[in-house]
Each structure stands twice: as C-alpha cells, then as structure tokens.
Chain A
Amino acid sequence: MTTHLEHHFDNLEQQHEAATLGMWVFLATEVLLFGGFFLGYAVYRMAYPQAFADATHHLALPEALPWYLKSIFLGTVNTAILLCSSLMVALAVHAAQEGKNRGVVRFLVAAIVLGVLFLFIKGLEYYLKYEEHLVPGLTFSYEGANPLVAQIFFSFYFVGTGLHALHMLIGIGVLAVIAWMSARQHFSAEYYTPVEMAGIYWHFVDVVWVFLFPLFYLMGLHR
C-alpha cells in the first residue's frame, strides 16, 4: 500500500489532494482552450444570427437524407452515448474505491466501447457532410442565403467537433491504460487516484460536447 506513496508526500491523502488540484489546473487550461473557440463562435453568431440559424438547420435537418441519417438524430444518439459512457466511468471509479479491480475493468471497457461508437457515428456524420459538399475549402456548395457566413459556421463545426474528437481519442487511450493497470491489480481501496483522475478527464470531455451539441445541432432548428 505504501509503495504508491511518493517520497515528497506525507501520506496518501495529501498525495490524492495534490493530484486532484493538479488535474483541475490542467482542466482550467482546457476550459480556456475551448473557451477561446466558444467565444469566437459567440461573436460570429451574434454578428450573423440569421445566417448561423439557417446553417444550423442545414446541418441538423438536411432534407435529402432519411431521418436516421439526419444529423439531429445522429447527434442526439451520440449525446446519449457519451452520457452513458460517463455513467460507466463514474461506476468504474466507484468500483475502484471499493477495491474491485474486475469491476473497474468491466466498466472501463464499456466506456471505451461507447467512446469508439461515438467516434464511429461522428465519422459517419463527417462523411455525410463531405457528400453534401459542406466541408469548407473542398468544393463547398450551399443553396441557402449567405454562403460565405455558412462557410464560417461549418469551419467552426469541424474545428470544434474535431478538437473534441481528438480529446475523445486521448481519453480512450487513457481509459485503456487504466483498464490495463486495473486488470493487473494495480489499484486498491487505499490507492485508486489514477482511476479517479482519468474519470475527471473523461467527464470534462463530456461537458465540452454538452455545449457543442446545442450550438451546432439545436439553435436554429425551428424555422
């Protein structure tokens, strides 16, 4: 048990507290990274409210596609998948606190599978946007009014969801390492800090999506 205690800490409690604070300092930098993106989006949305609402409608409810391929459906399903994965990670941390390594592995594998499913659906959406000629810079064609502003909207869409997807990839890698460590009985009821820290990161990525979803799929859906 004491083997997990680094020499510069008095005890495991203090070490756990230091890790938690460090994690939140890192997340503060992440908040400001995504904050800059959301600020840019807010400035352009306020400058071109109608064009952005039209573009949101164009993104979420493309008329040419059946309902199960419309982004509003795929995006809602993806949000539910991410929320489920967050529940799995919360239950994995709970299992770790009780010293049940097998439970940690099971819940983390479930979260990883859900995360991969999310990225698969996201990839399908990107492919459909490519087919609809909605990728800025690549033969962008848009029938609505103000295609120039729509191009800015879709640039925000690809940068925002792309940055989020990158965080998902990193999160899946982190969860996989933690699952592997759990399978090797690395954690116990006394020492489970890495499981909790990985969980906090995964939940943060979930929070980012919670804001991306209304900004690109919902605001402007009704016309």
Chain B
Amino acid sequence: MNKQNAATSHRQKNTEKSHRIVSTGVYYRVFFGLMVLLILTVAVAFVDAGPWGSAIALTIAIAKALLIMLFFMHVWYSSHLTQVFAAAALFWLGVLFVLALSDYLTRGNQWTTAM
C-alpha cells in the first residue's frame, strides 16, 4: 500500500514536472547567454590561440547546444524517462565517435598517403 502510494506520488511529480510552464524570463536569459557565446566564439576565432583555437570553438559550441537542449527543448524540466531518451541519443553518438576514431587515430598516416 505504502509502496503503491510512493509510486503514484512519484508519477505525479514526474507529470507535474513535464507540464511545468517555464517563465519567459528563463528564455530571455538563455537567449542572452547564447548571443554572448556567439560573439565570444567569433572573437576568439580571430585571435591566435594556437592548437587551443579549435578546442575553444568546440567547447563553446557544446555549451550553446546544452543551453538550447536543456531550456529551449525543455530537457531540464522533462520526466526522467525523457531525459534518459535524450541522453541515449548522445550516448550512441559517443559510441560512434569513440569506436571509429579509435580505429582511424591509431593507423598512423598510412591511409592518408593515397591523396
């Protein structure tokens, strides 16, 4: 009985969470953050950051993508199951990259000499 109640309240919490209306202030702040990151990444691209240039550009891109996913796409406010589904997409993307690059990055430069 107690267990059932706990399960019900958990479900209610989840559905309440998924239907929470996000205030427009959150959207405006996220948008402001995205524009600041855009200006930052373009400015950094003109500066000589050596080998760090690409790492900075990609880190800023990931930060922008996370802001959009969590707040504009409501992942932050979604049920745990939806969050698992969203994370699964990124997990499989990670599998694709790790397995493929563990091959290409350990071949030396043999495969590039053809070009």
Contact = CB atoms under 8 A, between A and B. Distances in A.
B65 A46 contact: no
A211 B96 contact: no
Interface size class of B (residues with CB under 8 A): 35 or more
A207 B86 CA distance: 14
A218 interface: yes
Decide if the interface of chain A is mainly helix, strand, loop or mixed.
Answer: helix
Contacts, number: 140
Contact of B38 (A46, A80, A149, A220): A80
Decide if the interface of chain B is mainly helix, strand, loop or mixed.
Answer: helix
B45 A36 contact: no
Given A21-B85, A46-B104, A222-B48, A39 B97 contact: yes
B6 interface: no
A24 B22 CA distance: 20
A17 to B, nearest CB: 6
A192 to B, nearest CB: 10
A203 B54 contact: no
B1 interface: no
A216 B79 CA distance: 36
A173 to B, nearest CB: 20
A48 interface: yes
A149 B71 CA distance: 39
Among A35, A86, A90, A219, max chain B CB count under 10 A is at: A90
Given A214-B41, A221-B46, A17 B81 contact: yes
Among B34, B46, B71, max chain A CB count under 10 A is at: B34
Interface string B25-50: 00110110011001001100111110
Interface string A96-135: 0110000000000000000000000000000000000000
Interface residues of A, number: 52
B15 interface: yes
A58 B15 CA distance: 51
A181 interface: no
A202 B93 CA distance: 20
A97 B74 CA distance: 13
Contacts of B82: 17, 20-21, 24
Interface stretch (A26-34, A62-70, A137-145, A154-162): A26-34
A46 B108 CA distance: 11
B27 A24 contact: no
Contacts of A206: 68, 72
9 contacts: A25-B85, A28-B85, A90-B71, A91-B24, A206-B72, A207-B68, A214-B45, A218-B41, A219-B54
